[in-house]
A and B are shown apart, each in its own frame.
Chain A
């Protein structure tokens, strides 16, 4: 059974700092991996989708990498801003028709 772990569970950083969020998964045979952001009381917003054949994806200040062989993904946030404060979740899909398996999330606070 696929298990997804996110470390750390919470992170507090000063504004402007570059930071890395980690996601690991137990079964490397995945179809894709998706990073989401969730603000309190809101739905999840898709940030980046990495297909199994890809190594990384970038969107603005965000860069996500995927290393299938080691079962790891990282989300890099450059020049963090208070508006980046949210919970970040990663999720993996094992086949095109299967459901997502989610991690517990990392709660990020960026202090002004």
Chain B
């Protein structure tokens, strides 16, 4: 059963703590992405990775960090430097190549992070 899994579904953090959100895919996709979604706002790109051991900052990378040590995994750490981390976080991955279905992006179910 192929897809993208995110864990946990809900996460609560105390101020000053770092937390790590998990994203795993078994679709054999090279590219992976992290987005943040706030109520009434669109998706904003945090970080993305086109290949293992390489990643780039998106539009709102401050206060976040990522790693890409394995093709299947792209964890996101929300650090204490992120001033307003309460949001819905979405992970995605993308196919490559192909005429009909090439470069199609798929999303995980999301993690809702709440800072107490």
Residues of A within 8 A of B112 (CB): 41
Q: How many A-B residue pairs have CB under 8 A?
A: 51
A51 & B102 in contact (Cβ 8 Å cutoff) = yes
A46 & B103 in contact (Cβ 8 Å cutoff) = no
> Is A70's beta carbon under 8 Å from chain B?
no
B58 & A44 in contact (Cβ 8 Å cutoff) = no
Q: Count B-side interface residues using an 8 Å CB cutoff.
A: 27
Residues of A within 8 A of B102 (CB): 32, 51, 96
Known contacts A51-B100, A103-B42, A104-B42; is-contact A45 B105 (Cβ 8 Å): no
- CB neighbors of B among A81-101 (8 A): 89, 91, 93, 96-97, 99-100
B4 (CB) vs chain A CBs: closest residue:
A43
What 5 A-B pairs are tightest by C-beta distance, nearest first?
A: A44-B107, A43-B107, A43-B109, A49-B104, A104-B42
Given contacts A34-B105, A96-B103, A102-B43, list 5 more A-B pairs with CB under 8 A.
A41-B110, A43-B108, A46-B104, A89-B43, A91-B105
